[in-house]
Amino acid sequence: MSLVSLRTFDPAPAFVDAELATLSPPARVGEFELDLELRHAGLRRVRIRYEINGDIRHPTVFVAGGISAGRHVAANAADAADGWWDAQVGAGRAIDPSRACIVSVDWIGADGTLDAPIDPADQADAIAALLDHLAIGRLDAFVGSSYGAMVGLQFASRQPARVARLVAISGTHRAHPYSSAWRALQRRAVQLGSLQCDAIDGLALARQLALLSYRTPDEFDERFGAAQVVDGRVRVPSEDYLDHIGQAYAMRTPVTAFLRLSESIDLQRVVPGSIETPVTLVAIELDRLVPVADAYALAQGLRGETRVRVLRSRYGHDAFLKEPAAIAAVLAEALELPA
């Protein structure tokens, strides 16, 4: 990893409700640039955008989600907007900023400006560079879900002295060939759209395909009924839902970011025996992207203290977002944050 001509940026703070800023733990956002040696693309200039929520004197917990999750994990004094994991991060929640300093990032490549293969190991190196930048020597915990779990495993393998414990939810040491096939078809949908000068609709279709891999037949059976003939064509009830999900995602996500981060998942390779950090693995019985068998295989190869928690959820891979009580119980057990 290479750090060259570091540049720090202090963007103007977003509008914050005065009462929230007074009552909430301290929070701030920032960004900086560095030259990072990418595993498959050589030395590249990247910008790391981060957010800190909580007092830096408290135990430091790094929180990371899927490829669509960014640095804004939860509403805080620097940004009162809802975050992607408000269910777990906040006052009285499993990860409470009054008891922990929560650090999070936008993935490198998430802004669409890095058009090169991005390995999960590269993300781990970027996080290490961020910790250096913030003068944080060691994380008390790394909590990762989906892609974030993969990066957490990379970080534990590459930076064993810098993390005390890891919680890996719905992510393991490898990309299962079945889930890689799902993602390859999603990327082809984007490419076909681009050939027709319609990359946005291609990306929307890719997101719809992705959602079907995240969720389960059980959920769709409960939510949607039988097909109907509408205006001379057959339409299934889930189409409106999928259309909304796809268009909303396509309007906020750069095409290049989706393609490169989707590829990055498929590059995941960690030797389980290289990890000595205590790990809590969370697997979902109905997760079609990360089979429970892979979690058990990973657990058998890890060298440190290991706990495996298997949950059942009709939400499949998205259980970390949709099962707040079950995930909170696991986090409370795994993190053991001081009162």
User: 3-class DSSP state for residue 128?
Assistant: helix
Give CA angle at 182 (176, 188), nearest 5°: 130
What distances in angstroms separate CA 283 from CA 37, 182, 311, one per listed residue? 32, 19, 6
Q: Are 117 and 267 in contact (CB under 8 A)?
A: yes
- Whether 146 is catalytic: yes
The residue annotated as part of the active site, out of 145, 157, 317, 318, is 317
- Whether 287 is catalytic: yes
- Taking the C-alpha atoms of residue 39 and residue 86, their distance in angstroms, rounded to an integer, is 33
Question: In the 8-state DSSP scheme, what is residue 160?
Answer: G
Q: Are 214 and 318 in contact (CB under 8 A)?
A: yes
- Whether 194 is catalytic: no
- Taking the C-alpha atoms of residue 93 and residue 329, their distance in angstroms, rounded to an integer, is 10
Beta strands 306-311; 279-284: pairing state: parallel
- Taking the C-alpha atoms of residue 188 and residue 192, their distance in angstroms, rounded to an integer, is 6
Query: Residue 26 has which token pair?
Result: 């301290």
What distances in angstroms separate CA 330 from CA 291, 300, 313, one per listed residue? 19, 20, 14
State phi, psi for 127 to the nearest 5 degrees.
-65, -40
- Taking the C-alpha atoms of residue 87 and residue 125, their distance in angstroms, rounded to an integer, is 28
Alpha carbon of residue 183 to chain centroid? 16
Burial of 57 (0-12, 13-18, 19+ CB in 10 A): exposed
The residue annotated as part of the active site, out of 24, 68, 146, 213, is 146
The residue annotated as part of the active site, out of 287, 294, 313, 318, is 287
- Catalytic positions are 146, 287, 317
